Amino acid sequence: MMVLGMDTSGCAGVFGVTDGARVLADCSFEARRDALQRVVADIDFTLRRAGQTLDDIDGFGVGLGPGSWTGIRVGVTVAKMLALVTGKPVAGVGTLEVLAAGAADRGSNICAVVDAGTRDMVYAACYDIRGGGLCRSGDYYVGGVEGLAARLGGTVTLAAENADRLFERLAPHLGGSGVQLKGVSVGLSGAVVARLAGERLERGEGDDALALTPLYLKESTAKVFRNKYLGRS
Amino acid sequence: MLVLGIETSCDETAAALLEGNQVLSSVIAAQLDLVQKYGGVVPEIAARRHTELIGYVVREALASAGRGFGDIEAVAVTSRQGLIGCLLVGVAAAKALSYALNIPLVGVHHIEGHIFAGQLSNPALPFPHVCLTVSGGHTMLLHVLECCRYEVMGTTLDDAAGEAFDKLAKFLGLGFPGGPVIDRLSLAGNPRAFRFPRPLLRAAGYDFSFSGLKTAVINTFREALARGETLPREDIAAGIQEAVVDVLVGKTLRAAAEKGVSAVSVTGGVSANRRLREVFRKEGQRRGLSVFFPAPSLCTDNAAMVAAAGYARLARGERSGLELDVLPNAPLGGAA
């Protein structure tokens, strides 16, 4: 199954084309001021790089986040419209799962982390490898690194875009917990998004394109304040 | 040519199909529930809602016109002026459609859309004319020389007229959006009970300012409160509305006289105001001016006007590339 994958949640927009396990293109476009304006042009570039056209694509994969709120909105909107127009299936893939997949050959208990952009906050989730696939082992985490450290146990492989820096931030909070932490720097990859989406689509687990929504993990500040001060949602 | 229009610049998720000058469908998903809950438009919340709704809205625009994706021949989208996070959703959707269908894409300025709402509803609207476009987001006076050629005569220096209505209605606890509430209450009020200022009405030039009016109303209300009086809401509403209408009509008629045009077009959400229409019609008649308003469905933000503006731009050979930029504060004018 030929799948076009994309993820625009991070500093770089990533796009890839896979056919089963075969990677036909895996492109990463560094963040520029106009990165989000270029998403569809970057898709065109990636398809050409893969030697394919949109007609050759059997399905779409898109990184749902967490990450840049504006970024995931643009990625999800583009994937949604491509799926609706072409009538081909789409599968949303968690961005943390994409990072974890990039470190899957380096450990069996993987904690994937992305920066939440404000106040030293991170988004994180832990994954086990079961039956050859990744399986999220708990809820998503949104908060400071201290709280994340408290949730870790045993031998953990840390998968993040800048694992060394994250390791330094986490280490002071791990004292005496017996956690064995190993950092693996992994970049987001459009090909990994495409592969994970392809596996899901092959199993008939695609998403409803119309209802496809980003994974923000956090409410907007206005809603948080409203709930806090008015005590209702 | 069958043009799909997409509009997401503020809090309405809208899509429409236009064939020539005929609106085949116009779907608008307003976010009134959210706007009322938060007392205004919260950009992040509005952008999230656009992402949830855009697919449904486009599909509904096609279904209600009995057309499919394959019938669309061009896509027009609001890419200039608005909330950046909101504009990005519509533009991303339009680019994906243009790419997947291999059809032309054209970016439209939101204000140009409102200008076309007047032309779409009134094919007899002659060029040149003066256009007052006024809503919760903008207040602008234009000399429309010919199709797609404008001279900006004046704009608001602070609040838009509709914004003043909204903020005052919120302050007075009347509800949201403020324009329709004030319009309704005014029916039972005396417009002469309170004489609020008419900012810049007699000043040279054609710029507007409504923040002073806002302050005057707030001060009047607070002073009355300090005296232990309660002011009749209907009279206050009528006083506010009369002040805004006086300024809008007065400046527009002066602009029309200076440019020597025979027609005036009034567009945007505030152009649905009952009193504004009444005074414009009366004063226009007195001066031998034809005054045109859009159909009510084309006053507030909609995608039919975007499709109409896009169609005119496409007819002039204009096209936008897949790199089409989103410009939240772009001035009116220039190519797509």
Cα(B206)–Cα(A116) distance, integer angstroms: 46
Domain count, chain A: 2
pLDDT for the residue A160: 95
CA A216 from chain center: how many Å? 11
Residue A231, in any domain of the structure: no
> pLDDT tens string for chain B (336 positions)?
999 999 999 999 999 999 999 999 999 998 888 877 777 888 999 999 999 999 999 999 999 999 999 999 999 999 999 999 999 999 999 999 999 999 999 999 999 999 999 999 999 999 999 999 999 989 999 999 999 999 999 999 999 999 999 999 999 999 888 999 999 999 999 999 999 999 999 999 999 999 999 999 999 999 999 999 989 999 999 999 999 999 999 999 999 999 999 999 999 999 999 999 999 999 999 999 999 999 999 999 999 999 999 999 999 999 999 999 999 999 887 544
Q: Does A84 lie in the same domain as A34?
A: yes
Cα(A79)–Cα(A62) distance, integer angstroms: 6
Q: Does A200 lie in the same domain as A85?
A: yes
Inter-chain CB proximity A222 and B323 less than 8 Å: no
For residue B106, give both structure tokens: 């054209």
Q: B131 has which bridge partners?
A: B142, B265
Determine whether B56 is exposed, middle or buried from the number of CB atoms within 10 Å of its CB (0-12, 13-18, 19+): middle
Residue B311, in any domain of the structure: yes
Inter-chain CB proximity B325 and A43 less than 8 Å: no
Q: Does A91 lie in the same domain as A10?
A: yes
Q: Is A168 left (phi over 0), alpha (psi -120 to 50) or beta?
A: alpha
B322 touches chain A (CB under 8 A): yes
Q: What is the distance in angstroms between the Cα of B74 and the nearest Cα belonging to chain A?
A: 14
Could you tell me where the DSSP H helices lie in chain A? Answer: 39-49, 69-86, 95-102, 145-151, 163-170, 190-202, 221-230
Q: Does A165 lie in the same domain as A192?
A: no
Q: Does B258 lie in the same domain as B182?
A: yes
Residue B31, domain extent: 2-114+298-315
pLDDT for the residue A27: 97
Q: Does B286 lie in the same domain as B173?
A: yes
Domain count, chain B: 2
Residue B328, in any domain of the structure: no
Q: Does B279 lie in the same domain as B135?
A: yes
Q: Does A27 lie in the same domain as A51?
A: yes
Cα(B150)–Cα(B142) distance, integer angstroms: 6
Q: Does A115 lie in the same domain as A68?
A: no
Cα(B128)–Cα(A5) distance, integer angstroms: 50
Q: What is the distance in angstroms between the Cα of B126 and the nearest Cα belonging to chain A?
A: 37
Q: Does A79 lie in the same domain as A29?
A: yes
Q: DSSP character for B143?
A: E
Q: Does B251 lie in the same domain as B142?
A: yes
Cα(B27)–Cα(A211) distance, integer angstroms: 18
User: Beta A180-185 vs A155-160: how paired, if at all?
Assistant: parallel
Among B38, B51, B96, whose Cβ lies nearest the Cβ of A40?
A: B96
For residue B61, give both structure tokens: 């625009």
Closest listed residue to residue B91, CA positions, set B48, B50, B30:
B50
Q: How many CB atoms lie within 10 A of CB B318?
A: 15
pLDDT for the residue B336: 43
Q: Does A180 lie in the same domain as A211?
A: no
Q: Does B108 lie in the same domain as B208?
A: no
CB B245 within 8 A of CB B273: yes
pLDDT for the residue A233: 46
Q: What is the distance in angstroms between the Cα of A177 and the nearest Cα belonging to chain B?
A: 39
Q: Does B217 lie in the same domain as B80?
A: no
Cα(A89)–Cα(A80) distance, integer angstroms: 9
Give the pLDDT mean for A116-141.
90
Q: Is B333 helix (H, G, I), strand (E, B) or coil?
A: coil
For residue A162, give both structure tokens: 């800048």
Among B44, B55, B96, whose Cβ lies nearest the Cβ of A210?
A: B55
User: Beta B149-155 vs B139-146: how paired, if at all?
Assistant: antiparallel
Closest listed residue to residue B185, CA positions, set B177, B195, B198, B174:
B174
Inter-chain CB proximity B92 and A36 less than 8 Å: yes
Which has more pLDDT, A24 or B21? A24
- Using a CB-CB cut-off of 8 Å, the residues of chain B touching A226 are 37-38
Inter-chain CB proximity B96 and A82 less than 8 Å: yes
Q: Interface pTM (ipTM) of the complex?
A: 0.94
CB B143 within 8 A of CB B259: yes
Q: Does B274 lie in the same domain as B181?
A: yes
Residue B119, in any domain of the structure: no
Residue B329, in any domain of the structure: no
Cα(A15)–Cα(A45) distance, integer angstroms: 9
- Using a CB-CB cut-off of 8 Å, the residues of chain A touching B323 are 34, 37-38, 41
Mutation target to probe the B interface, by most B beta carbons within 10 A, among A39, A73, A207, A221 is A73
Task: State chain A's mean pLDDT as an integer.
Answer: 93
Q: Does A160 lie in the same domain as A123?
A: yes
Q: Does B304 lie in the same domain as B287?
A: no
**Band of residue A35 on the pLDDT scale cut at 50, 70, 90:** confident
Cβ contacts below 8 Å, chain A against chain B, sum to 107
Residue A91, in any domain of the structure: yes
Q: How many CB atoms lie within 10 A of CB A58?
A: 15
- Angle, nearest 10°, between helix axes A39-49 and B84-101? 30
CATH code at position B52: 3.30.420.40
Cα(B313)–Cα(B315) distance, integer angstroms: 5
Residue A171, domain extent: 104-185
**Band of residue A136 on the pLDDT scale cut at 50, 70, 90:** very high
Mutation target to probe the A interface, by most A beta carbons within 10 A, among B27, B95, B101, B327 is B95
